[in-house]
Structure 1
């Protein structure tokens, strides 16, 4: 049984590297090939979405390229154990209508992997208020004001 666990760990370590590579090199074209990384009935959740299935996950990634300019992920840390992968990242992008400088959202993702190494569960954790809303012109002023009041 120990050999099976070690082999499984090694296999998932390789898959973890493939997942990191997918995110760090994500383009509109590669977003169309999510089936290489996600299983058919994969679950995806972030602060704005909760969906299941390849076609819906593909649409989320493709929509990201419509919403923001030059989106890219920098993976900063990964921890993999068995069929679990945890990844911290910086999401860098430009918001043409709101800011000229590159924006950064810091977050983390918890993945569960199928025996074939594809993602069956993807849950993003990041603070939408701090990482996104505070960077928008009008809403940002309101959010920063509320944060200041809450600190008093």
Structure 2
């Protein structure tokens, strides 16, 4: 099993208790970026995931595909979640993470790519209406 595959397994099985062992997965000065956050270091990465768990009653990543060569790889994933105020799970969000590994196999850089407007904002009443209106104004009539 490659280091990238091991990271994918960690990512898919991650629970709040796993945040205590981030140093086994990320190098000290690792960089993490998603559409809402850009942090550097273990404390910043921990804060991002603590915030996710604090706001979600249920949150888990399903890793669908792992592709990599050398120190750089990609995880295609699906995020399943329910906000604490929700009665039911929300529609899952699909995304891709670009992962750069250090020589020891730990993560040096993790950058998420996913469509916040189409995947997340669209699920909320006011924002969803605005996103649908904007999409209709900017799309080509075919």
TM over 0.5: yes
Between structure 1 and structure 2, the one with the greater Rg is 1
**TM-score normalized by the length of structure 1:** 0.86
Corresponding residue number in structure 2 for 1:54: 42
Residues 98 and 136 of structure 1 are in contact (CA less than 8 Å); yes or no, is this contact kept in structure 2? no
Matched, 1:82 2:61: no
Q: Which runs of 4+ in 1 moved over 6 A?
A: none
CA RMSD in angstroms, aligned pairs only: 1.4
Corresponding residue number in structure 2 for 1:67: 55
- CA separation in 2, counterparts of 1:81 and 1:71? 29
Unaligned runs of 5+ in 2: none
Corresponding residue number in structure 1 for 2:27: 39
**TM-score normalized by the length of structure 2:** 0.92
State the shift of 1:98 in Å.
5.2
What is the aligned length?
Answer: 140
- CA separation in 2, counterparts of 1:139 and 1:98? 16
Unaligned runs of 5+ in 1: 1-12
